Amino acid sequence: MQQNTDTEKDLQLRELDAMCVNESHLQHKWYHNLKYLVVGVLFGIVFVKAEVVSWFRIQEMFRLQSFHMYGIIGSAVVVGMISVFLIKKFNIKTIYGEPIKISPKTFNKGQIYGGLIFGFGWAITGACPGPLFAQIGTGATVIAVTLLSAIAGTWVYGYLREKLPH
Amino acid sequence: MIEFLKQPWAWYVAGPLIGLTVPALLIIGNKSFGISSSLRHVCASCMPANIPFFKYDWKKEVWNLFFVFGIFLGGAIAINLLSNPNPVEVNPELATELAGYGITNFNNLVPQDIINWQSLFTLKGFLMMIVGGFLVGFGTRYAGGCTSGHAIMGLSNLQLPSLIATISFMIGGFIMANLILPFILSL
């Protein structure tokens, strides 16, 4: 029982300010994670080939000079919405037979304050977190510094979390 | 086929492929799409420093680190095997504006004229790379997600908080790109 409450607490903590958290009761060997690596590789290729990771595309987007990024984000959302709708409607299970669970998000003011701060950073660096990894892969090694700085930013947020308005 | 793949991909090809990441991750392991959390897992694994926000079992989220490492490898594969030989096409208006700040090299995905190791130690480089990165990391966690977690995964699941977050990202971006960034670039 003690163990159960511990697991529960751990999950609640991981769920704080995070979308992508899930408690699976299945135990897998580490190499099962390689399938996420494969999805990541495909995703990274799309990112670079569609120039989503291009600083110039992001500048065009925020200056309303190109439809490209709006088309990408918009069509990605439409495909994602249809997929989630179908998964829920037909109760589609994972490849391990587990029911698929998506935790809902609750509103807090951090989504506005943090969102604005992230928007500032996005327009300066021309990258959200995903493209940072892809940009380093394309040989822009100095972006590793930007990534480290982003990790530092995350750490400082964790440090100040209790004092920030939410 | 390879020739075709080497061209820049149109939005209507890339967007749906990115959208398909949502069901792919759900089906192969019940994972909700999100990238910025990887930064938090790095903090939790390397420097939790007794901060409650980082005191969790990060090994349970290790899939996310595999995923972002994959994105890094994907970037390397795309640039080495599927690279487009032509410079990145840039809207002429933007090109003129950027030329005014001395940015004329459009050969790479990042503007090499300002984002490089030498300029890291100038005020402009410091603001662009260090401060910019810091805002990305701090802001995404404060907002509880980034473009992938909120704008794509959250909106796919019809979450109002994600819509609010996405609108905030865009407002922040518009303010920075149009009102503040010109000053930084002209430093």
* Tens-place pLDDT, residues B162-175: 999 999 999 999 99
When mean pLDDT is compared across A19-28, A72-81, A134-143, A154-163, the lowest value belongs to A19-28
Contacts of B179 in chain A (CB under 8 A): none
Per-residue 3-state assignment (H helix, E strand, C coil) for chain A: CHHHHHHHHHHHHHHCCCCCCCCCCCCCCHHHHHHHHHHHHHHHHHHHHCCCCCHHHHHHHHCCCCCHHHHHHHHHHHHHHHHHHHHHHCCCECCCCCECCCCCCCCCCHHHHHHHHHHHHHHHHCCCHHHHHHHHHCCCCCHHHHHHHHHHHHHHHHHHHHHCCC
pLDDT of residue B87: 74
Q: How far apart are CA B145 and CA B166, in angstroms?
A: 10
pLDDT band, very low/low/confident/very high, at A148 (cuts 50, 70, 90): very high
User: Each residue of A65-109: pLDDT tens digit?
Assistant: 999 999 999 999 999 999 999 999 999 999 999 999 898 889 999
Whether B157 and A146 lie within 8 Å, measured CB to CB: no
Whether B131 and A149 lie within 8 Å, measured CB to CB: yes
Task: Write the DSSP symbol of residue B49.
Answer: T
> Taking a C-beta distance cutoff of 8 angstroms, is the pair A74, B19 a contact?
no
With a CB-CB cutoff of 8 Å, which residues 85-114 of chain B face chain A?
A: 88, 90-91, 93-94, 98, 106, 108-111
